[in-house]
């Protein structure tokens, strides 16, 4: 029985040979690049960053401590928000991969042009916890990672980082605010009060573990 299958469907309409669909229930370990460490970046996606330049500077500082010959950079496959790190990673010679929910395919998400391999996880959610348990996408994200760095981020990033920390994986959190105007527009569109706090649910203080 095949656990992963190559597909020509990057979205509902356009072909993309970078995509591999991971069968429901398959072990996410099967998508790890052999013989390499996987460095995963988490953060805001569609919410964006108030200062993308600051986010990229933080990411660059993290990448400075890793060897492209031994490390693959993993994010969530799309170009938004933290996905901007893909371009930075490729410019430094890092191989790249992405782990993403099948919801992204259904919504015709725009993949980063700088991600080399995309692994689509069959999932009825975008990620995070469901009834106290990580969704298939978030479970795969944690499983394939040797080290996880979150630069800001919402609930899904929080759930994945906390799960990785509980497993004793190397974790780091760097505070960052989401894009203020995007947050305001989203609140207005939903008929909700305009937010005053744009910080991450992970808090205002940086930390590393272990």
Give mean pLDDT in consecutive 10-residue pieces for the chain, a chain of 210 residues.
39 69 86 96 97 98 98 97 98 98 94 97 94 94 97 98 98 98 96 94 97
pLDDT value, residue 49: 98
CA gap 199, 122 in Å, rounded: 30
Please give the radius of gyration of the chain, using alpha carbons only, rounded to the nearest integer: 16
Is omega for the bond preceding 210 within 30 degrees of 0, making it cis? yes
Helices (H), the chain: 52-63, 85-91, 102-106, 136-144, 155-166, 180-189
pLDDT value, residue 123: 94
pLDDT digits (tens, 9 = 90+) for 140-168: 999 999 999 999 999 999 999 999 999 99
Return the structure tokens found at 139.
């479970």
pLDDT value, residue 9: 32
Percent helix / strand / coil, the chain, rounded to 5: 30, 25, 45
pLDDT value, residue 30: 87
Return the structure tokens found at 111.
């993949």
pLDDT value, residue 15: 67
- Flag whether the pTM goes above 0.85: yes
Return the structure tokens found at 152.
């800001």
How open is the CA angle 199-58-116, to the nearest 5 degrees? 105
Return the structure tokens found at 163.
């799960």
Return the structure tokens found at 20.
């591999």
């Amino acid at each position: 029985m095949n656990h992963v299958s190559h597909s020509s469907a990057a979205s509902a309409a356009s072909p993309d040979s970078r995509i591999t669909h991971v069968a429901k229930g398959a072990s996410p370990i099967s998508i790890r690049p052999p013989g390499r460490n996987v460095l995963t970046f988490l953060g805001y996606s569609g919410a964006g960053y108030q200062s993308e330049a600051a986010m990229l500077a933080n990411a660059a500082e993290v990448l400075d401590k890793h060897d492209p010959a031994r490390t693959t950079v993993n994010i969530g496959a799309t170009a938004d928000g933290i996905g901007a790190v893909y371009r930075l990673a490729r410019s430094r010679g890092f191989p790249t991969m992405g782990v993403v929910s099948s919801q992204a395919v259904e919504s015709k998400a725009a993949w980063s042009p700088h991600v080399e391999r995309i692994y689509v996880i069959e999932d009825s959610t975008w990620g995070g916890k469901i009834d106290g348990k990580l969704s298939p996408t978030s479970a795969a994200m944690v499983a394939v990672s040797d080290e996880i760095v979150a630069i800001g981020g919402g609930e899904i990033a929080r759930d994945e980082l906390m799960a990785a920390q509980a497993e004793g994986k190397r974790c780091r959190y760097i505070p960052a605010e989401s894009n203020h105007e995007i947050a305001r527009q989203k609140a207005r569109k939903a008929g909700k009060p305009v937010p005053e706090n744009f910080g991450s649910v992970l808090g205002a203080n940086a930390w590393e573990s272990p």
